[in-house]
Amino acid sequence: MAETLRRVLNAGRAAGPGEDGAAGPPLLLLGAPRSAQTSLLFAAALEAAGEGRGPVLFLTRRPLQSLPLSTPAARDHWRLQKVRFQYPSSIQELLQLLASAHEAPAPAPSLLLLDGLEEYLAEDPGAQEAAYLAALLLDTAAYFSHRLGANGSCGLVVALETQKEADGDTPHLALLHRYFPAQCRLQPDALDLGQHCCLRASLELGKLSPRTEWSVTFLPSGEMKTTPWPAQASLLSPDKKGSSAGSQFLTLGCDGLPGPGLPLDGVLTSRTGTDSKT
């Protein structure tokens, strides 16, 4: 997942060292409320679904209400059909789903995504429960990787909403870092963009790995623009939109902000027989 997320943020530019298409280490996606974690997870799901290695398993408590329409990937029904959404509503259901993964007859996924870890941990906030859930997530991803065999490995990313930037303000974050050596932090950008939602994404694949950063801007239209940090001088110029070298536009809504889309229930329910979430 670490490499998949980097490809999403680095879209349209040449691959760098280590960007060889491998899943990368398990990744923890950290961000404050309204920091577009769900949007980035969905973009990563579409990216992985287009690689042809296997389906994507997206776990979240509640169905998302809409899905972006203006990206080629989001309009690609073949990709959407490869994203399997499941909605464990409690930590008990989540643990049961993970523990029974070996019984599922469906093809092994190439990417496992979990959105809203903080909501599950809030139900049972003990350190032992957090460690057990983290270990079970890694074990499930390892099992899927074993099933994939020569076809590749299963990436893993878990999104955790933080109330404050300091690690000490988030319960069990230090413990989770032991299980997830890679992390991506989403922080508000100090640049005043008015109605725009602007974030700074910092990706680290491990303690010895260099940090890579991007400026991520969500425009009122729902477009997501990424540029390597700190190259962001053109973000405020509507007449230059898309003209800066190395920039990439995607149509994704910043979490909590309105954006173009259509209900996922109308897209995926007919195939899965369950609700669907973006």
3-state secondary structure 177-192: HHHCCEEEEEEECCCC
Residue type present at position 255? D
More confident residue, 177 or 206: 177
- pLDDT exceeds 50 at position 245: no
Q: Identify the three-state secondary structure at position 10.
A: coil
Tell me the per-residue pLDDT of 98-143, one tens digit each, with 9 for 90 and over.
999 988 888 899 999 999 999 999 988 888 999 999 999 999 999 9
Please work out, in degrees rounded to the nearest 5, the angle formed at the alpha carbon of residue 164 by the alpha carbons of 93 and 44: 55
Strand partners, 155: 111
- pLDDT exceeds 50 at position 261: no
Half-sphere exposure for 175 (CA within 13 Å, toward CB):
15
Contact 37, 192 (CB under 8 A): no
Distance (Å, rounded) from C-alpha 77 to C-alpha 197? 28
Half-sphere exposure for 263 (CA within 13 Å, toward CB):
5
Please work out, in degrees rounded to the nearest 5, the angle formed at the alpha carbon of residue 37 by the alpha carbons of 29 and 10: 75
What is the arrangement of strands in the sheet containing 56-59, beginning at the earlier edge strand?
83-86, 56-59, 111-114, 155-161, 27-31, 182-188, 197-204, 212-218, 223-228, 248-251
Cα–Cα distances in angstroms (integers) from residue 116 to residues 140, 149, 159, 181, in the given order: 18, 29, 6, 19
- Name the region of 240 (left: φ>0; alpha: ψ -120 to 50; beta: rest): alpha
pLDDT value, residue 238: 41
Strand partners, 160: 30
pLDDT value, residue 218: 74
- Identify the H or E element spanning 80: helix 77-81
| E-state strands within 115-196 | 155-161, 182-188
Name which of 42-46, 51-55, 90-94 the model is least confident about: 51-55
Whole-prediction pTM value?
0.78
More confident residue, 13 or 35: 35
pLDDT value, residue 58: 96
Give the residue from 274, 209, 265, 202 showing the smallest Cα distance to 67: 265
pLDDT value, residue 235: 43
Cα–Cα distances in angstroms (integers) from residue 59 to residues 26, 38, 174, in the given order: 15, 11, 23
